[in-house]
Amino acid sequence: MRVTMIGGGYVGLVSGACFAEFGMEVTIVEADERKLGALREGRIPIFEPGLDRLVSENVAAGRLSFTGDMDEGLADAEVVFIAVGTPTRRGDGHADLTYVYQAAQQVARKLKNYAVIVTKSTVPVGTGRRVAEIVRETRPDLDFDVASNPEFLREGNAIGDFMRPDRVVIGVESDRAADILRSLYRPLFLIETPIIVTSIETAELTKYAANSFLAMKVTFINEVADLCERVGADVHDVARGMGLDGRIGRKFLHPGPGFGGSCFPKDTLAMARIGQDAGAPQRLVETVVTVNDARKSTMARRVILACGGSVRGKRIAVWGLTFKPETDDMRDAPSIPIVSRLVEDGAELHVFDPEGMEQARPHLPPQVIYTTDPIEAATGADALVIVTEWNLFRAVAPARLKALMRGSVIVDLRNIFDPAAIRAAGFAYHAIGRALPPVEEAARRGAA
């Protein structure tokens, strides 16, 4: 089957490479000449484990190609995916659909035969209908169907999520389109992946509802973590006690400094706006947005209190900048407000991230010092802050860390260290959702 992917960004590139691995003939159309040049040279412009190998193997096999020419990209296409960006629109929180509608118009002009035009991007309810209108207005003679096929890819595990998904959601209006898209996903029949066929509106809303619910789980456990600190409980034990209930599940019950990334922040905001516009306000989602924004802003205050109420003139090491491990994505990363506030309050910041250093530079103050590894960042530091839970940070022994640092304060916003071991090494250890020893708790209350 001939598949065309409009957009070679995260969703388009991962999806295109995976469809090629399924045996489809895939062409990715990318308008950005710099990104297109990199892809043609075999350089992957994003970090995603395993993606470089998957792309190179399918290019070599002749199943995956890249072009900037829409005519070439759409030649004999049977399925055309629109996988362009839908960022938050400035001023009102809605998803900006400019690129989606532009792509729909361009596809309509260039298609020569019947094809299913599929929105792969995350789009609000009603977008598919508008795409169909644009195509009809542009090419009244064109035979086509419009469908919605939202992606459910986690950064850092996107290939596994695509190749072994929990489900595939397909929103269509015709049996013809449904049959074509079922055929596209036929390799998943062998592992009995549920294929859910719905209306276009249902498929569009399902993506927002799923991400909003997961964001609520994250926000809920973060608030429970705050409560645990106050009452002397351990949030990890609470989360385990909750998560073993099959109705709740264990995933996304990990406390931290707040969610970020390319999906949750913009999708919860868009879900809230969709509800407001439809006259069905999504109050829980609105609260999640507010609570999460506030949480990221207050994390720097935790560091300041742990340092005795002031960080002026102090050297602070920060481990991890990306919003999560196994990605180089800095979008809405908690590190941005944390680092910015600490620099504003007079601290000297030495930071390290395995993949996100260059991506972080435009987002962080120019005074930040970038180091080559976690050891260099921690050497001579008065305090260490862990913002992203990369595995290599766990490998640093507490005794070695104590010998490297000038001070003894660790603020672990991801709870990667064992509290007993790190305190036995002589550190004043501050975690998320774990009760402080009585002496430290009294000091914290006094500083607050």
Q: Give per-residue pLDDT as tens, 207-222.
A: 999 999 999 999 999 9
pLDDT tops 70 at residue 275: yes
Using CA atoms, how far apart are residues 195 and 98, in angstroms rounded to an integer? 30
Nearest to 144 by CA among 125, 131, 160, 157: 131
The pLDDT, as a whole number, for residue 435 is 76
Confidence band for 446, pLDDT divided at 50, 70 and 90: low
Using CA atoms, how far apart are residues 148 and 368, in angstroms rounded to an integer? 43
Our answer to whether residue 307 is catalytic in this structure is no
- Number of other CB atoms surrounding residue 372 within 10 Å: 9
| CATH number, domain 2-198 | 3.40.50.720
pLDDT tops 80 at residue 197: yes
Give me the residue spans of the domains in the chain.
2-198, 291-447
**Options 3.40.50.720, 3.40.50.300, 3.30.70.890, 3.40.50.620; CATH of 291-447:** 3.40.50.720
Confidence band for 356, pLDDT divided at 50, 70 and 90: very high
pLDDT tops 80 at residue 342: yes
423-432, pLDDT tens digit by residue? 999 999 999 9
Sign (positive/negative) of CA torsion 298, 304, 305, 310? negative
The pLDDT, as a whole number, for residue 441 is 55
The pLDDT, as a whole number, for residue 87 is 86
Q: Average model confidence (pLDDT) for the chain? A: 94
Tell me which of 18, 228, 263, 307 is the catalytic residue: 263
The pLDDT, as a whole number, for residue 442 is 53
One-letter amino acid of 88: T
SS3 4: strand
The pLDDT, as a whole number, for residue 90 is 75
Percentage, residues of the chain above pLDDT 70: 97
Using CA atoms, how far apart are residues 358 and 47, in angstroms rounded to an integer? 12
pLDDT tops 60 at residue 317: yes
pLDDT tops 60 at residue 128: yes
pLDDT tops 70 at residue 439: no
Residues for the chain: how many in total? 448
22-60, pLDDT tens digit by residue? 999 999 999 999 999 999 999 998 899 999 999 999 999
Using CA atoms, how far apart are residues 59 and 36, in angstroms rounded to an integer? 14
Strand partners, 5: 28, 81
Decide: 123 and 200 in contact? Cβ < 8 Å. Answer: no
Confidence band for 440, pLDDT divided at 50, 70 and 90: low
The average pLDDT across 392-418 equals 96
pLDDT tops 80 at residue 103: yes
Decide: 282 and 275 in contact? Cβ < 8 Å. Answer: yes
pTM value is 0.91
